[in-house]
Amino acid sequence: MTVSPQPASVRTLDTEPDTEPVLNKGGQGSELVGRSPGQLMWRRFKRDRTGMVSAVVVLMFFVVGLLAPVISWLYGKDPYTLYGQESLDLLDDFSFPTGKFGGMSGEHWFGIEPGLGRDIFIQLVYGIRNSLLIGLAVTAATVVTGILVGVTAGYMGGKTDYWLGRLIDFLLAFPSTLFFVAFMPVVVALFVSPEDETPTYVRVLALFLVLWFLGWMGLARLMRGETLSLREREFIEAAKVSGAPPWRIIRKELLPNLVTPILVQSTYMLPAAVTAEAGLSFLGVGLLEPTPDWGRMFALAGKVYENDPTYMFFPGVAMVIFVVCFNLLGDSLRDAFDPKAGR
Partner 1 sequence: MSNDTTTATADAGTPLRDAVPGTALLEVEGLTKHFPIYGGFPVKRRVGAVQAVDGIDLAVHEGESFGLVGESGCGKSTTGRLLTRLLEPTGGRITYNGQDITHAGRKQLAPIRSEIQMIFQDPYSSLNPRQTVGSIIGGPMEINGMNPPGGREMRVRELLETVGLNPEHYNRFPHEFSGGQRQRIGVARALALEPKLIVADEPVSALDVSIQAQVVNLLQNLQRELGIAFLFIAHDLAVVRHFSQRVAVMYLGKIVEVGDRDSIYNRPRHPYTHALLSAVPEATVTAARDGEGRERIRLAGDVPSPINPPSGCRFRTRCWKAQDRCAKEEPPLIRLGGNREGHLTACHFPEEPTTAAREEDVILDPALLAAEKGTGAGSAGPVGKVDR
Please provide the distance, in angstroms rounded to a whole number, between the alpha carbons at the two ends of the chain.
29
Q: Give yes or no for residue 245 binding partner 1 (CB under 8 A).
A: yes
Q: Give yes or no for residue 284 binding partner 1 (CB under 8 A).
A: no
User: Judging by beta carbons within 10 Å of its beta carbon (0-12, 13-18, 19+), is residue 306 exposed, middle or buried?
Assistant: exposed
Beta pairing partners, 97: 91
Q: Give yes or no for residue 252 binding partner 1 (CB under 8 A).
A: yes
Shortest separation between residue 35's beta carbon and partner 1, angstroms:
7
Q: Which is nearer to partner 1, 25 or 47 (CB)?
A: 25
Q: Give yes or no for residue 251 binding partner 1 (CB under 8 A).
A: no
Shortest separation between residue 166's beta carbon and partner 1, angstroms:
15
Among 256, 284, 290, 316, binds partner 1 (CB under 8 A): 256
Pick from 64, 204, 182: which is nearest to 135 by CA? 204
Buried b (16+ CB within 10 A) or exposed e, 105-127: eeebebbbbbbbbbbbbbbbbbb
Q: Which is nearer to partner 1, 7 or 34 (CB)?
A: 34
Among 194, 201, 243, 343, binds partner 1 (CB under 8 A): 243
Phi, psi of 119, rounded to the nearest 5 degrees? -80, 125
Q: Give yes or no for residue 253 binding partner 1 (CB under 8 A).
A: yes
Among 6, 12, 19, 160, binds partner 1 (CB under 8 A): 19
Q: Give yes or no for residue 248 binding partner 1 (CB under 8 A).
A: yes
Q: Give yes or no for residue 156 binding partner 1 (CB under 8 A).
A: no
Region near partner 1 per CB under 8 A, out of 108-116, 151-159, 242-250, 269-277: 242-250
Region near partner 1 per CB under 8 A, out of 210-218, 252-260, 291-299, 307-315: 252-260
Q: Give yes or no for residue 263 binding partner 1 (CB under 8 A).
A: no
| Tally of CA atoms within 13 A in the half-sphere of 300 that contains its CB | 26
Residues near partner 1 (CB under 8 A), total: 31
Q: Which is nearer to partner 1, 238 or 317 (CB)?
A: 238
Q: Give yes or no for residue 74 binding partner 1 (CB under 8 A).
A: no
Shortest separation between residue 332's beta carbon and partner 1, angstroms:
19
What is the spatial distance between Cα 92 and Cα 94, in angstroms, rounded to a whole number?
Answer: 5
Q: Which is nearer to partner 1, 31 or 306 (CB)?
A: 31
Q: Which is nearer to partner 1, 73 or 235 (CB)?
A: 235
List the interface residues with partner 1, window 202-241 (CB under 8 A).
Answer: 233-235, 237-241
Q: Would you call 311 helix, strand, or coil by DSSP?
A: helix
Shortest separation between residue 101's beta carbon and partner 1, angstroms:
52
The dihedral sign for the CA sequence 144, 150, 156, 160: positive
Q: Which is nearer to partner 1, 233 or 303 (CB)?
A: 233
What is the spatial distance between Cα 159 and Cα 332, in angstroms, rounded to a whole number?
Answer: 37
Q: Which residues contact 58 (CB under 8 A, 6 or more apart)?
A: 322, 325, 326, 329
Q: Give yes or no for residue 1 binding partner 1 (CB under 8 A).
A: yes
- Which amino acid makes up residue 140? A
Shortest separation between residue 270's beta carbon and partner 1, angstroms:
24
Q: Which residues contact 222 (CB under 8 A, 6 or more apart)?
A: 146, 150, 261, 265
List the interface residues with partner 1, window 22-41 (CB under 8 A).
Answer: 31-32, 34-37, 40
Instruction: Answer for the pair 181, 196: CB distance below 8 angstroms, yes or no.
Output: no
Q: Which residues contact 229 (CB under 8 A, 6 or more apart)?
A: none
| Tally of CA atoms within 13 A in the half-sphere of 251 that contains its CB | 5
Instruction: Answer for the pair 100, 123: CB distance below 8 angstroms, yes or no.
Output: no
Q: Give yes or no for residue 69 binding partner 1 (CB under 8 A).
A: no
> Which chain residues interact with partner 1 by CB under 8 A?
1, 3, 19, 21, 31-32, 34-37, 40, 233-235, 237-245, 248, 252-253, 256-257, 259, 339-340
